[in-house]
Amino acid sequence: MTKKDILKIIKEENVHFFRLQFVDVNGFMKNVAIPRSQIEKALDGEMMFDGSSIDGFARINESDMYLKPDYATFVILPWRNKNGVATARIICDVAKTDGSPFAGCPRVNLKRVLAEARKLGYTMNVGTECEFFLFNRDVAGLSTTATTDAAGYFSVDPEDSGTDCRREIIETLEQMGFEIEASHHEVARGQHEVNFKYADALTCADNTVTFKWVVKTIARKYDLHATFMPKPVFGINGSGMHTNQSLFNLDGSNAFFDPKGALQLSKVAYQYIAGIAEHARGFAAVTNPLVNSYKRLVPGYEAPVYVAWSASNRSALLRIPASRGLSTRVEVRCPDPACNPYLAFAMMLNAGLDGIKNQLTPPKSVDVNIYKLTPNQMKRAKIESMPGSLKEALAELKKSPIARATLGDHIFEKYLIGKEKEWDSFRTTVTDWELKNYLDLY
């Protein structure tokens, strides 16, 4: 799409308001809304904002930044048409005052890592499976963890009370250009999943943050609260963001597929698997970024706790779905939907590429239910566990040989500072659990 195409659509659709969007280090979507009179200026990348007000961006003495729009992300917002007046959005990269890309912009960083992969002869395709909960709001409009939904995995009406909301989410996404492949109720009450078609890594990251925004927006219309919190309710399954990924050669062929290879996987695929397994503990703080993330990553709730791979075993961290040919891919099951997809994709890509560059060999596949193995069996099989807390994950991130190079100095340092503050706040907070268990007893 060109600037001329966008201006034509703006005129035809009577767009009066324009949102310039970007994401911060934690993956939260930010935007500035401008009137129609400023749209051409915005499309030319001349809109400025105060970067010092964005968590993890710039210091106050270097706060002026520009928003450089990516024309391919322009879309009309279906729910914002009022009395024939439309609103559109476009996703932007962040630039410094001299016009150079800002290293602290997660989108800019992912583009840098993808460019490095291209020098090696690869492009990356990604498809995310982003689970979420729909909860009721109370009489004051505040979020709760209550639901009238009595459904389970793949349930139908009337048990699946979120059907209408999920249908409008899908209709809205399709109007915005998403190709929806499937939607269904998940295992836990109130839990849902909508699957959309894979894309190149940058587009998929854009689509993932857009998807989360749309889900929350439409849920609000139904007086529901949509949350992508990994583990909102004790004792039931949490929400994951299984991330299917593949490398393609520059000629358009799938670099993971070899019809003559074991499991029809190429040498590159096995090296990529080995790289992911080698660095999984080191990238966990990015793919699973919250204190709460590690309350999902526990045995017993279908969460991938163990660093292993298999062609079919869903208790392993890495799974190889059955499709072959152009659909040959690796499913990494640990990420959760609270992650910043731009950073998570960059970390997983560089982990896999490290396996290719160093010709790593993956461990033997584990085709049994890992949850039923004894500690001694796990030890003999050399199966490691993912970090058990954000604190442990941050320590692994610091030790990672690829993390700083993947995230860049700015994001690596700002991310660690923010997450260590988060852990310290959690560590020093007196919780309801402590009051319930200790207040009267002691």
Q: Which domain holds residue 27?
A: 3-102
For the stretch 377-383, contacts whose Cβ atoms lie closer than 8 Å and that sit 24 or more positions apart, written own/partner, are: 378/306, 381/308, 383/306, 383/307, 383/308
414 with 326, same domain: the answer is yes
Q: What is the pLDDT of residues 396-422, one digit of tens each?
A: 999 999 999 999 999 999 999 999 999
| 127 and 97 assigned to the same domain | no
254 belongs to a structural domain: yes
Residues 171 and 30 in one domain: no
- E-strand stretches of 104-156: 122-136
Domain boundary among 76, 102, 128: 102
CATH code, domain with 71:
3.10.20.70
The domain that holds 178 is classified in CATH as 3.30.590.10
CB 294 within 8 A of CB 390: yes
Quick check: is 440 in a domain?
Answer: no
Q: Please state the pTM of the whole predicted model.
A: 0.95
Determine the Cα angle at 396 with ends 392 and 401, to 5°: 175
**Quick one: CA torsion of 231, 233, 237, 242, rounded to 10 degrees?**
-30
For residue 363, tell me if it sits in a domain: yes
Question: Which residues, at least 6 apart from 426, have a Cβ–Cβ distance to it below 8 Å?
Answer: 291, 390
Last residue of a domain, one of 102, 120, 137: 102
- Using one digit for the tens of pLDDT, what is the confidence trace for 37-49? 999 999 999 988 8
Q: Which residues pair with 50 in a beta bridge?
A: 64
- CB of 391 within 8 A of CB of 362? no
Residues noted as catalytic? 50, 129, 131, 186, 193, 242, 314, 331, 333
Residue ending a domain, among 102, 126, 143, is 102
- Let me know: does 338 contact 422? Beta carbons within 8 Å: no
List pLDDT tens digits, range 311-369: 877 778 999 999 999 999 999 999 999 999 999 999 999 999 999 999 999 989 888 88
Nearest to 203, CA basis, from 184, 226, 179: 179
Q: What is the pLDDT of residue 299?
A: 75
Strand pairing category for 29-35 and 180-185: unpaired
Q: Residue 233 — pLDDT band, cuts 50, 70, 90?
A: very high
- CA dist 251 and 121 (Å) reads 9
Phi and psi at residue 55, in whole multiples of 5°?
-55, 125
Residue 437 located in a structural domain = no
Same domain, 122 and 233: yes
Q: 327 and 195 in one domain?
A: yes
Number of domains in the chain: 2
Please tell me whether residues 194 and 335 are part of one structural domain: yes
Which residue, among 159, 300, 145, has the nearest Cα to 224 in the 3D structure? Answer: 145
